[in-house]
Amino acid sequence: MTSSKKYVYAFEEGDGKNKMLLGGKGANLCEMTQIGLNVPPGFTASTDACNAYLEKNQLPPGLMDEIRTHMAALEKKTGKGFGDAKNPLLISVRSGAAMSMPGMMDTILNLGLNEVSLKGLITQTGNERFAYDAYRRFIQLFGKIALNISDEHFDERMVAIKRKYGAPQDVDLNTEHLKELAGEFLAIVQRQTGQAFPQDPFVQLEIAVGAVFRSWMGKRAVDYRKQFRITKAQANGTAVSICTMVFGNMGNDSGTGVGFTRNPGTGENVIYGEYLVNAQGEDVVAGIRTPKAIAEMEQEMPEIHRQLIQLRSRLESHYHEVQDFEFTIEKGILYCLQTRNGKMNARAMVRTSVEMFHEGLITKERALLRTEPAVLEQLLVPQLAPNFHAKSLAQGLSASPGAASGKIVFDADTAETRGRAGEKIILVREETKPEDIHGFFQAQGILTSRGGKTSHAAVVARGMGKPCVSGCEQIVINDQLRSAKVGDTVLKEGDVITIDGGTGHVYAGEIPTVEAEFSEEMNTLLGWADEVAVLKVMANADSPVDALRAREFGAMGIGLCRTERMFNATDRLPIVQEMILAETLEERQAALDRLLPIQRADFKGIFKAMKGLPVTVRLLDPPMHEFLPTAAQLELEIAHLHQLRDTIKALEDLPETLKMLNPKLYQQYADGLTPLMGALSTFKKSHMEAEVIAKKEKILKKVRALAEVNPMLGHRGVRLGITYPEIYSMQIRAILEAAALCGKQGIEIYPEIMVPQVATVEELKRIHSYVQRIRQEVRATHGIDVQFKFGSMLEVVRACMRSGRMAEIAEFFSFGTNDLSQATFSFSREDAENKFLPFYNETGILEDNPFEVLDIKGVGQLMKMAVQNGRATNPDLKVGICGEHGGHPGSIRFCHHIKLNYVSCSGPRVPIARLAAAQAKLLEDQYREPV
């Protein structure tokens, strides 16, 4: 029978680049063979054969014929015979798909053993014990993988035999014991399958090939692909590689091991790995004996060590990448059984990128492309010590990466006082609000029981580079008792916990952490990235401290400075509230006059910190009520005060009541009661509680007046600026005066004024007129004509539609993609993330969370149009993005594609964005917008 299709490729002929067809393992076995490395001879049956098998549930016609032909060639090459009684050929039947899926699919070793070839193996090796050991291993492995017999049947016999002969370890069993064991294993197969163990080696091979193909659809493998999102385009079916067995367990001149061409933990340029003398491949993984470090081999097996070093350099100079390889030594001869690109941690990736470039092994481009930008995060925040042992108490969302330990504190004020006093604090709250910000400053980390990855806590923590676990619902917080419960565990204020914002885990007690490190190599690599990238990378930063830190991360300016963060600081909030509560313009102006110097000082600080670089300041954005307590809180406080008043009244009547009820008792207490009555009347005359009640009621009235059905779409942003011109005027003045003062000191600055929530061109024009007026005034008073840019945030759909006209006034646009995504989807972020978005993602209605990954198909198209229309009006229009997406590598590629000038993200993400910006440039030709 002739088959129409070629399924099988000898290692000498297979295309080493075609991993889709031959699997990663098969392709590399071919490639290694072809470049002359010592690989045991063999061949690979393709993934096409696998898919044909899975479709019909039987091996495709012609496959076994092809395999027989290749087996004949293998016999010729090795001079051995398959199933031979004197010099038997044994093979391994190995799985391997295009994407590495470690341990997910099956490999069968020592295939070809039967009662006849067993004798041959004994003759061949002169080692009866070894032969029986191989036989019993093969029966078990074949039984399990190919015949579906559970391990426990075999393991049970193994334990029984060891007990019977008093052998503590497998290796203590002698030939006779193993012979007996093999007999029992054959009986198990007979019992479990109703058939004898297949003796015909080709029958064994046929069953094994089918079993390996089937393992592609095994539960483990399917789950793994789901978990790591491996699509059919990345890996479609497993290939089967059939490889002549070599034996590492043939004595003390044999062995087996695994190696990395460089240290995968540090990147150091030395061979790294482990080996075992007189052992087979799986023994290293199984941990039957403790392997030795390859460094020791230099003493123990110097000649093999020399070959290994040579293998290492041949692998690297061929693959131009760090390799992770498997080797076996049979009687002094080194064989390479597998190689693949080494998986390394971020530190090692960065170091090897720089060093391999300097060694001439890779180009600068490759150095920039081989690291996934997101992994750099590992290096930018503290991590839990790698070898800690602790059981997690609860798990929430990984809202902001990094690990931190500290004492639990349940409110921001306490966090502030205890933090200032030098204690390490973790702020634990149900959810956080803008007025909790002062607590964030003093906390090591934040833990909330409610809210998603873009909740207030998460966003603010990320901005500050502090660890945060959000939405940890297993934790039930009781603010009254100042305690929290997780299952049976009660956590009290002051108890120490550790949070890991990278995984969302919460631990009781302190777990050691390792600090972030911004290495020399990282600086070098990111320096190269900046040379290549077109996009500039800015930071979102609201204070001089954040600004300085962002600069250390390599930020090329500040793309978003949120002024409300300044309003929330404890020393300003009362003045801000005064401004909000003002009944008249004069009162409000008085409060604003007090805020002006404070804001001016803030801006001066930030300009100084960012000297030489642009700083984009956004005018006030949130609705006013965010600066006031909630109505519920006020009502509660007022009720308490009323209660106090009633209590005092009742106390006043106490002497008279007592006298009436029990004159004797009254006499007894009279001396004590007199001073109390005096104190009470003084307190009453002071009208203290009445004043506070009046004040609180006034605030409550204002809070009620400011209440909005949908604050996100309410009286905020430019709408505030238009209705209360004095607020924006104060801020604009603070910016321009700060700039003038810096100018006088010779500090080079590039301020930009940005207006949030703009929907109509007219809004922007109004604010522009304030700016023009104040600019003149500052020129008159300071004698300096401040140079700055004026621009609009684009975070309202209408503004994107009007971008052409908007660009007549705006010198820059900055896409506020957080709000723009909400507006485009008509989703409120919090509600979406807490209610339906996870379901949307799971069921494939939406591929990603649009608040983490820019929705290119929708929001992105609006952006593209706005850029085009804006630049049609003003070709020099500067355009950037300042939403969370500005730090997301996939979104950055799109930003490059639509020719933005910059992305702005939180400080700690700046290095990630720098690398992503370089990759966006290097890969621009391959970029395809999703459709």
**Residues noted as catalytic:** 456, 882
**84 touches, from ligand ADP, Mg ion, none (C-beta below 5 to 8 Å by class):** none
Tell me the C-alpha distance between 307 and 314, whole Å: 10
Nearest approach, Cβ of residue 409 and ligand ADP (Å): 49
* CB closer to Mg ion, 322 vs 394: 322
* CB closer to ligand ADP, 142 vs 627: 142
Smallest Cα–Cα separation from 620: which of 702, 558, 547, 562?
562
Beta bridge partners of 448: 429
748-774 in b/e form (b: 16+ CB < 10 A) is ebbbbbbbbbbbebebbebbbebbeeb
**Residue 819 near Mg ion by CB under 5 A:** yes
User: Could you write out the DSSP letters of every residue in 832-870?
Assistant: IIIIIHHHHHHTTSSSS-TTTS--IIIIIHHHHHHHHHH
Nearest approach, Cβ of residue 338 and ligand ADP (Å): 5
Tell me the C-alpha distance between 752 and 763, whole Å: 18
User: Do residues 507 and 889 lie in contact, with contact meaning Cβ atoms separated by under 8 Å?
Assistant: no
Handedness of CA 772, 777, 782, 784 (dihedral sign): positive
Residue whose pair of structure tokens reads 């931190």 in the numeric block: 404
**816 touches, from ligand ADP, Mg ion, none (C-beta below 5 to 8 Å by class):** Mg ion
User: Do residues 111 and 138 lie in contact, with contact meaning Cβ atoms separated by under 8 Å?
Assistant: yes
**837 touches, from Mg ion, ligand ADP, none (C-beta below 5 to 8 Å by class):** none
Task: Please identify, among the stretches 134-142, 496-504, 583-591, 818-826, the one whose residues bind Mg ion according to the rule CB under 5 A.
Answer: 818-826
Nearest approach, Cβ of residue 690 and Mg ion (Å): 41
User: Do residues 425 and 444 lie in contact, with contact meaning Cβ atoms separated by under 8 Å?
Assistant: yes
Tell me the C-alpha distance between 737 and 751, whole Å: 11
The site for Mg ion, by CB under 5 A, has a size of: 5
Nearest approach, Cβ of residue 712 and Mg ion (Å): 9
**Residue 278 near Mg ion by CB under 5 A:** no
Using DSSP, state whether 67 is helix, strand or coil: helix
**103 touches, from ligand ADP, Mg ion, none (C-beta below 5 to 8 Å by class):** ligand ADP
Task: Please identify, among the stretches 233-241, 442-450, 677-685, 789-797, the one whose residues bind Mg ion according to the rule CB under 5 A.
Answer: 789-797
**819 touches, from Mg ion, ligand ADP, none (C-beta below 5 to 8 Å by class):** Mg ion
Task: Please identify, among the stretches 2-10, 165-173, 270-278, 816-824, the one whose residues bind Mg ion according to the rule CB under 5 A.
Answer: 816-824
**89 touches, from Mg ion, ligand ADP, none (C-beta below 5 to 8 Å by class):** none
**92 touches, from ligand ADP, Mg ion, none (C-beta below 5 to 8 Å by class):** ligand ADP
* CB closer to ligand ADP, 32 vs 624: 32
* CB closer to ligand ADP, 282 vs 656: 282
**706 touches, from Mg ion, ligand ADP, none (C-beta below 5 to 8 Å by class):** none
Give counts: helices (H), strands (E), the chain.
38, 33
**Residue 338 near Mg ion by CB under 5 A:** yes
Token pair listed for 184? 């029992």
DSSP strand pairing (323-330 vs 333-341): antiparallel
Nearest approach, Cβ of residue 90 and ligand ADP (Å): 8
Helix (H) or strand (E) holding 703: helix 688-706
* CB closer to Mg ion, 240 vs 741: 240
* CB closer to Mg ion, 763 vs 795: 795
Nearest approach, Cβ of residue 914 and ligand ADP (Å): 36
Nearest approach, Cβ of residue 880 and ligand ADP (Å): 46
Q: Which phi and psi (to 5°) does residue 875 adopt?
A: -60, -25
Helix (H) or strand (E) holding 244: strand 238-244
**Residue 622 near Mg ion by CB under 5 A:** no
**917 touches, from Mg ion, ligand ADP, none (C-beta below 5 to 8 Å by class):** none
* CB closer to ligand ADP, 291 vs 401: 291
Nearest approach, Cβ of residue 247 and ligand ADP (Å): 7
Residue whose pair of structure tokens reads 């789950």 in the numeric block: 223
Using DSSP, state whether 501 is helix, strand or coil: coil
**94 touches, from Mg ion, ligand ADP, none (C-beta below 5 to 8 Å by class):** ligand ADP
Token pair listed for 559? 């793309």
Nearest approach, Cβ of residue 478 and Mg ion (Å): 34
**Residue 884 near Mg ion by CB under 5 A:** no
Rounded to 5 degrees, what angle do the CA atoms 388, 392, 398 make?
100
CA distances from 330 to 25, 280, 304, 342, 351 (A): 21, 10, 10, 25, 35
* CB closer to ligand ADP, 42 vs 614: 42
Binding positions for ligand ADP, rule: CB under 6 A: 40, 92, 94, 103, 107, 109, 243-246, 281-282, 326, 328, 337-338
Tell me the C-alpha distance between 745 and 738, whole Å: 11
Nearest approach, Cβ of residue 242 and ligand ADP (Å): 9
* CB closer to Mg ion, 408 vs 820: 820
Tell me the C-alpha distance between 920 and 533, whole Å: 8
* CB closer to ligand ADP, 115 vs 282: 282
**Residue 257 near Mg ion by CB under 5 A:** no
* CB closer to Mg ion, 380 vs 793: 793
Task: Please identify, among the stretches 180-188, 341-349, 507-515, 810-818, the one whose residues bind Mg ion according to the rule CB under 5 A.
Answer: 810-818
Nearest approach, Cβ of residue 248 and ligand ADP (Å): 7
Residue whose pair of structure tokens reads 């799971």 in the numeric block: 842
Tell me the C-alpha distance between 554 and 433, whole Å: 30
**246 touches, from ligand ADP, Mg ion, none (C-beta below 5 to 8 Å by class):** ligand ADP
**432 touches, from ligand ADP, Mg ion, none (C-beta below 5 to 8 Å by class):** none
- The amino acid at residue 563 is T
Q: Which phi and psi (to 5°) does residue 340 adopt?
A: -160, 165
Task: Please identify, among the stretches 48-56, 336-344, 389-397, 441-449, the one whose residues bind Mg ion according to the rule CB under 5 A.
Answer: 336-344
Nearest approach, Cβ of residue 271 and ligand ADP (Å): 17
**Residue 816 near Mg ion by CB under 5 A:** yes
**245 touches, from ligand ADP, Mg ion, none (C-beta below 5 to 8 Å by class):** ligand ADP
Token pair listed for 15? 């295309």
Helix (H) or strand (E) holding 394: strand 394-395
* CB closer to ligand ADP, 247 vs 567: 247
Nearest residue (beta carbon) to ligand ADP: 281
**In this structure, how many other beta carbons lie within 10 angstroms of the beta carbon of residue 78?**
18
Tell me the C-alpha distance between 502 and 374, whole Å: 12
**In this structure, how many other beta carbons lie within 10 angstroms of the beta carbon of residue 282?**
13
CA distances from 523 to 729, 791, 911, 918 (A): 41, 33, 9, 14
Dump strand ranges (E) for 494-624: 496-500, 505-508, 513-514, 536-540, 558-562, 614-618
Task: Please identify, among the stretches 212-220, 248-256, 320-328, 363-371, the one whose residues bind Mg ion according to the rule CB under 5 A.
Answer: 320-328
Smallest Cα–Cα separation from 822: which of 790, 792, 858?
858
Nearest approach, Cβ of residue 214 and Mg ion (Å): 19
* Residue 332 per-residue DSSP state: T
Beta bridge partners of 814: 793, 880
* CB closer to ligand ADP, 236 vs 328: 328
Residues that bind Mg ion (CB under 5 A): 326, 338, 795, 816, 819
